[in-house]
């Protein structure tokens, strides 16, 4: 049975030869920027963080660069100082590798911020056996930006890559930052302790994530590349119609989301290639973002996107 399950896992992660190709390396400035933002995400003084976000906004103002980032890039280790001060654990970035990918939502940052900090967020996650998230303060103020930061701890159990059960605990931080490019939201989380899978000797040694959500105007729609189509297909088989909707979102106003995910995974006895893991992570980020938009499509009462003044508008770099 385990041999069959391992074969199914490999099949699900490698839908085609192209789907298991490793994403290209990120441009040095993008790779450096996301690591810098993870490092400074909880600075008491937001000046350095705001400057980094303005640089990120300027990088993604280039339509061609955005189009490439939608297909996903590889990124290398986080700066050592980015992980050593997170908590009381002894941490090192050694062995980390990761991906960064951009997605576009038709919804404003406030709507996405409200959804991401919604106390019943687990309703979106039918693939989780356990999803518990405890906030240290009332999170309902965060979406409308009545407060600028909230923090939570999570306890989850789900099937990594759809097969290997993992029970994990994370620390999660959310923050709004005012910049010359408008208000920008950040989400940062990290795995508290290494996690052993329930089979195949799979182990998640470390995981760090940074999400950035910024207002974004309409973009010129460009032809979908094979790499983006493969990434968008992911493990759940997104239909061509879904990819067309992603192109429509790019052409309209909404929010640009940048997802950076660093990981250290030991696949155990499963012969998973690094390319398969990286490709799957890119696909999962795209599918998660689509799932959020789908939820807001079906729950318009959760969407609050009025323009309240210049601070909610996109400022051209």
Q: Is residue 4 part of a domain?
A: no
Let me know: does 172 contact 152? Beta carbons within 8 Å.
yes
Q: Using the CB atoms, write b or e for 26-61: b if 16+ within 10 Å.
A: beeebbbbbbbbbbbbbeeebeebbebbbbbbebbb
Q: Is residue 19 part of a domain?
A: no
Residue 279 has pLDDT above 80, yes or no: yes
Q: Rounded mean pLDDT of 266-271?
A: 78
Residue 160 has pLDDT above 90, yes or no: no
Q: Is residue 58 part of a domain?
A: yes
Residue 298: is it exposed, middle or buried by C-beta count within 10 angstroms (0-12/13-18/19+)?
exposed
Q: Is residue 315 part of a domain?
A: no
Element housing 293 (H / E): helix 274-298
Q: Is residue 316 part of a domain?
A: no
With cut-offs at 50, 70 and 90, classify the pLDDT of residue 20. low
Mean of per-residue pLDDT scores for the chain = 83
Predicted local distance difference test score (pLDDT) of residue 15 = 40
User: 126 versus 2: which is more confidently predicted?
Assistant: 126
What residues make up the domain containing 137? Answer: 24-306
- Quick: pLDDT tens for 30-50: 999 999 999 999 999 999 999
d(CA 16, CA 234): 11
d(CA 38, CA 49): 9
Let me know: does 142 contact 129? Beta carbons within 8 Å.
no
What's the structural domain count of the chain?
1
How many Cβ atoms from other residues are within 10 Å of residue 133's Cβ? 18
Q: Is residue 7 part of a domain?
A: no
- Residue 109, domain CATH: 3.30.530.20
Q: Is residue 154 part of a domain?
A: yes
d(CA 52, CA 58): 10
Element housing 36 (H / E): helix 28-40
Predicted structure pTM score: 0.84
Q: Is residue 242 part of a domain?
A: yes
Pair of tokens at residue 44 = 């008491």
- Quick: pLDDT tens for 85-108: 899 999 999 999 899 999 999 999
d(CA 59, CA 66): 8
- Coil vs helix vs strand at 90: coil
């Amino acid at each position: 049975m385990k041999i069959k399950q391992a074969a199914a896992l490999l099949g699900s992660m490698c839908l085609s030869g192209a789907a298991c190709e490793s994403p290209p390396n990120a441009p040095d400035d993008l790779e450096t920027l996301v690591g810098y933002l993870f490092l400074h995400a909880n600075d008491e003084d937001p000046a350095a963080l705001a400057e980094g976000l303005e640089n990120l906004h300027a990088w993604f103002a280039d339509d061609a660069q955005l189009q490439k980032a939608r297909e996903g890039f590889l990124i290398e280790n986080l700066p050592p100082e980015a992980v050593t001060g997170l908590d009381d654990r002894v941490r090192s970035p050694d062995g980390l590798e990761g991906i960064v990918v951009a997605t576009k939502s038709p919804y404003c940052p406030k709507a996405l911020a409200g959804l991401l900090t919604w106390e019943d967020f687990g309703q979106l996650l039918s693939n989780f056996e356990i999803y518990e998230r405890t906030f240290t303060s009332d999170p309902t103020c965060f979406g409308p930006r009545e407060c600028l930061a909230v923090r939570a701890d999570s306890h989850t159990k789900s099937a990594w890559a759809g097969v290997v059960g993992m029970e994990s605990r994370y620390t999660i931080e959310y923050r709004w930052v005012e910049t010359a490019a408008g208000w920008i939201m950040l989400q940062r989380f990290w795995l508290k302790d290494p996690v052993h899978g329930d089979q195949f000797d799979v182990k998640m040694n470390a995981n760090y994530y940074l999400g950035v959500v910024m207002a974004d105007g309409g973009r010129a729609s460009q032809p979908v590349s094979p790499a983006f189509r493969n990434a968008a297909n992911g493990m759940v088989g997104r239909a061509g119609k879904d990819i067309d909707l992603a192109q429509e979102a790019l052409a309209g106003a909404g929010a640009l989301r940048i997802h950076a995910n660093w990981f250290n995974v030991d696949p155990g006895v499963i012969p998973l290639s690094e390319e398969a893991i990286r490709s799957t992570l890119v696909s999962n980020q795209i599918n998660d973002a689509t799932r959020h938009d789908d939820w807001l499509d079906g729950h318009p009462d959760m969407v609050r996107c009025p323009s309240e003044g210049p601070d909610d508008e996109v400022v051209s770099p």
